Structure 1
Amino acid sequence: MTADDTPVIVYDPTLRDGQHAVRHSLDAAQLRAYARAANRARIPVLEVGHGNGLGASSLQIGRAALTDDAMLRAVREELTHTRLAVFMAPGWGRSANLRDAVECGADVVRIAAHCTEIDVTERHLGLARELGVEAQAVLLMSHMADAPRLAEQCATAVGFGAQAVGIMDSAGHYLPGDVSQRIAAIVAAAGQAPVIFHGHNNLGLAVANSIAAVDAGARIIDASARGFGAGAGNTQLEVLVAVLERLGHPTGIDLRALLLAADTAQEHLMPAPPTIDSVSLVSGLAGVFSGFKPPVLAAAEGAGVDPIDVFFELGRRQAVAGQEDLIPRIVRDLKDAS
């Protein structure tokens, strides 16, 4: 096998990351419609759940329309080829949530941690292996750590039992060179474990960054239909697959059926496809989690504060997901200072 025909596994978080864009409001009929289309297209893995993962539905970050179990059971019934995946960040999700997800048919469990806090994944990666599902580990807000630190964290996750490891560009902050450097370091440290990359499109570079990741050795790439995801959206699935195929990287996905799945997503899941508006662009520049966009806009509008100033201040404070309570404080500070 030459470098040009190395297969890439495409991992689809449309029904999880996309929830951020619609305040976690997807219902069973919407989930089923896209799951059927994804299965027809032979997408390898489909991730489902609240935008912040198992156990995260709450007043603080948003109530989901359905319970975790209801979402998973609805989608599981539609999948015959595609594997069902869940995402969990320890602190929001617990071992009981993980057990329930596996009982509902999850095949892949992805455990997430802040980019310097991989130790919190040890227990849940071990549990996933005990439960007989594929265990993956990903580092969030990965632009906040350099390549050697990320590589060290991923190697530790492999030691904990992770069968794939990688990074999320949670803020859409990376340039292709940033991705190449980090992925190459992780590939060198991860042994035989496949390396993951998850991009966001705040700077319009999600597909380019994903290809840079593949060129550097990543073999699992995340992408959502029409880019449906937080902020400016994720790497656009149908574009990524077309580019990978043109570059000679087989994905096993039926492109014609995938285009129909993307149409289904646009028709049934979202009011409009994600765009790179001014706030999303600033979120990427500031290195702020894309999912902060709705609460920042709401708080800033209510106080008459420029949301761009809020994002730059969140970036200065290195805010991460779960620190939504910082937003009203920053808005008050900016209003008082005006």
Structure 2
Amino acid sequence: MEKRKIKIVDTTLRDGSHAVSHSFTVEQATAIAGGLDKVGVSLIELSHGDGIAGSSINYGMSKVPEMELLRAASKVVKNAKLTVLLLPGIGTIEDLQQAKDNGAQAVRVATHVTEADIAIQHIKYAKSIGMMAVGFLMMSHMASPEKIVEQAKIFVDCGADYINLADSAGHMVPDDVRARISALKNSIEIPIGFHSHNNLGLSVANSIAAVEEGASYVDVTCRGLGAGAGNTQNEVLCAVLDRLGYDTGVDLYGIMDVAEEIVEPIMQRPQIVNTASLMLGYAGVYSSFLLHTYRAAEKFHLNPRDILVELGRRGMVGGQEDMIIDVAFELSQQKTR
């Protein structure tokens, strides 16, 4: 029997950017992208952690302009699709055109799970200029399977090549994933992908649950490098999928070497489930909030757990990083009363 194919989408150079404070150099980007390409990864995503044009005071400044990184990476990526993330309201159609001009072949347009309609023009434009376009629903734990299907159909109708469901807070357990992926599989005709964070230590299990329910694209990062406690670890997932009889097209020894010899040496800290990242998953808070929360806690002499619980209580979503300081300030005022 022919093995079922799973496409591996590596986001080390995008989600991993959060974990290194957006400090990737040209040399690092080309080494990682070239290594991933040689071992058979299908899509290689490279952007600021918050997508193209994300470099800012609010989200963190990039050490090297991402268009320069894209241009350099495009020279070493020969087989995979070089991919960018775009969050409408941060990145624009002009930024998307610039990304294509610098070598991007695919774009994943990411919105909050209930706001797919703000991505319509970006997906249509990407298709009109010959790019692969993906509808990416963030914070998917915050919507029911029925709502997710409704939103996914908006992406389908405007020409998306596949739908990517993201557990941006690392809040879901496998049954949550199964309910959402199976609802999509039973309702839309285009492929489905899944993006997980490891804040509850469940990213590999959740990714396998997604695959078992029909997902054919899975997001990963080498050594799990990413926001919060990181993402599904590329080399681990490839090993597990191989054991389960799936075909990832990725050379297992090769991806282990990329993770150990190229990515691990540039990591600023081990990617672990510590107390703060565990709280992200427990409270259902966007994973890229972690470093911002640490800084705010230090500034206002607070326990970061208190900030994260309050962010979760308020239902904060990606793009509201600037509100973390406001929340921390309010909590500090309450402490002094």
Question: What's the TM-score once normalised by structure 1's chain length?
Answer: 0.97
CA distance in structure 2 between the partners assigned to 1:242 and 1:314 by the alignment:
36
Aligned with 1:320 (options 302, 317, 320): 317
Contact 2:19/2:268, CA 8 A, preserved across alignment = no
Equivalent residue letter for 2:174:
P
Alpha-carbon displacement from aligned partner over 1:54-92 (angstroms, at most 9, x marks no partner): 111111111111222101011111111222011101100
- Counterpart for residue 200 of structure 2: 203
- Counterpart for residue 243 of structure 2: 246
Aligned with 2:23 (options 17, 22, 25): 25
CA distance in structure 2 between the partners assigned to 1:286 and 1:137 by the alignment:
25
Q: What is the SS of the residue equivalent to 2:14?
A: helix
Q: CA RMSD in A?
A: 1.1
Contact 2:32/2:263, CA 8 A, preserved across alignment = no
- Counterpart for residue 179 of structure 1: 177
Alpha-carbon displacement from aligned partner over 1:186-223 (angstroms, at most 9, x marks no partner): 112221x1101000000000000000000111100000
Aligned with 1:304 (options 273, 297, 301): 301
Please, which moves more after superposition, 111-120 or 322-331? 322-331
- Counterpart for residue 187 of structure 2: 189
- Counterpart for residue 148 of structure 1: 146
- Counterpart for residue 11 of structure 1: 9
Alpha-carbon displacement from aligned partner over 1:109-133 (angstroms, at most 9, x marks no partner): 1111110000011101001110111
Q: Within the alignment, does 1:230 sit opposite 2:227 as a pair?
A: yes
Equivalent residue letter for 1:200:
H
Equivalent residue letter for 1:184:
S
Identity %: 41
- Counterpart for residue 210 of structure 2: 213
Contact 1:165/1:190, CA 8 A, preserved across alignment = no
Alpha-carbon displacement from aligned partner over 1:247-269 (angstroms, at most 9, x marks no partner): 11101111111111111343443
Equivalent residue letter for 1:42:
G
What aligned pairs does 1:26-41 form with structure 2 within 5 A after superposition? 26-41=24-39
CA distance in structure 2 between the partners assigned to 1:115 and 1:265 by the alignment:
34
Contact 1:266/1:273, CA 8 A, preserved across alignment = no
Aligned with 1:49 (options 38, 47, 65): 47
Equivalent residue letter for 2:78:
T
* C-alpha deviation, 1:36, in angstroms: 1.8
Aligned with 2:285 (options 284, 288, 301): 288
CA distance in structure 2 between the partners assigned to 1:6 and 1:39 by the alignment:
21
- Counterpart for residue 92 of structure 1: 90
CA distance in structure 2 between the partners assigned to 1:272 and 1:166 by the alignment:
28
- Counterpart for residue 115 of structure 2: 117
- Counterpart for residue 161 of structure 1: 159
Please, which moves more after superposition, 74-83 or 212-221? 74-83
Contact 2:220/2:232, CA 8 A, preserved across alignment = yes
Question: What's the TM-score once normalised by structure 2's chain length?
Answer: 0.97
- Counterpart for residue 335 of structure 1: 332
- Counterpart for residue 99 of structure 2: 101
Equivalent residue letter for 1:21:
A
- Counterpart for residue 58 of structure 1: 56
* C-alpha deviation, 1:306, in angstroms: 0.8
CA distance in structure 2 between the partners assigned to 1:297 and 1:222 by the alignment:
26
